[in-house]
Amino acid sequence: MVYKYTQNNLLDFPEKYFYAAYDGKFFIKKWYENRKIPFSRMIDLGLNLKEIQLPDAFEGKNKSSIFLDTYLWILEKIKKLNTDNFVDRETENFLKKFEVRKKIYQVYENREFVVNDKCDGKDVMIYIFSGYLFALCYKKTSKLQFLNSCLKIMDIIVSYDQNVKNVNHPLFLYLLKKEFEYIRILGHQCLGEEVYENCLNSSIN
């Protein structure tokens, strides 16, 4: 039994998640095993979570004078979140556009996130940075919508990692760690600590 949501490269074949089948507690284990693969690999490669220094991670990204550069927009929102502790409507709209289109584009026409025809939405790094933004939003607000989008973004990155090319990036490692942490907290709340931890350790037939 495998975690089926990363079997195809989701940048090419977006996942809609309609009426997802129920696999019981084994699904939790399958998700966990799926994420442990890139996590363990990056740890083995010596990647260090302390290497992440935002906003330095954004340096070198091109500025666009006409269109909305998504990297710079994300950086702006992260800075604002860290100072204001407030998720604005624009960030909510960004999440909505991702949920509807299943893609995030490097550049948008404007702050309404109208898609630029020249972008293909296949830059895996933009998903990593967007995942970081949504993870931060979830940390600040506890709104499940942000965790939900974060999980979908993680599927996209892991699918790319598995099917196209290993993504060895400290921010990806950081996101995996945060995903484990947030789901563990939610799992403990929903199921109790013992049951949740048993799910992770249960054997899959």
Partner 1 sequence: MKIVLIAALTERSKAYAQILRFLGIRLSEVVIYGTDKTNLLGVNSEGLFPRGGVHASNLFVPDFKEALQETVVNANWSYSIIDESDVNSEKLLEKIRKISPDMIIFSGYGGQIVKGPLLEFPLVHIHSGWVPEFKGSMTLFYEILQDGECAASAFLLNDKIDEGKIIKRKKYVVPHDINLDYVFDSIVRADLLKEVVLSFIKDKKFSFEEIEDQENLFMPYYIMHPLLKHLTLLKIGYEHD
Binding residues vs partner 1 (CB under 8 A)? 5, 16-25, 27-28, 31, 92, 95-96, 99-100, 143-145, 147-149, 151-152, 155, 183, 186-187, 190-191, 195, 199
As measured in angstroms, the least distance from the Cβ of 78 to partner 1 is 19
Closest CA relative to residue 157, chosen from 147, 168, 148, 146:
168
Choice between 108 and 146, CB closer to partner 1:
146
Choice between 25 and 140, CB closer to partner 1:
25
As measured in angstroms, the least distance from the Cβ of 75 to partner 1 is 22
Choice between 4 and 41, CB closer to partner 1:
4
3-state secondary structure of 164: coil
* Interatomic CA distance for residues 48 and 45, integer angstroms: 9
Closest CA relative to residue 171, chosen from 81, 19, 52:
52
As measured in angstroms, the least distance from the Cβ of 44 to partner 1 is 25
3-state secondary structure of 7: coil
Choice between 94 and 172, CB closer to partner 1:
94
As measured in angstroms, the least distance from the Cβ of 181 to partner 1 is 14
As measured in angstroms, the least distance from the Cβ of 93 to partner 1 is 10
As measured in angstroms, the least distance from the Cβ of 18 to partner 1 is 6
Choice between 57 and 153, CB closer to partner 1:
153
Helix (H) or strand (E) holding 108: strand 107-108
Choice between 48 and 93, CB closer to partner 1:
93
* Torsion over CA: 131, 133, 136, 141 (sign): negative
H-state helical runs in the chain: 26-44, 70-84, 89-101, 124-141, 144-163, 170-191, 193-201
Neighbours of 75 (CB within 10 A): 19
Neighbours of 49 (CB within 10 A): 14
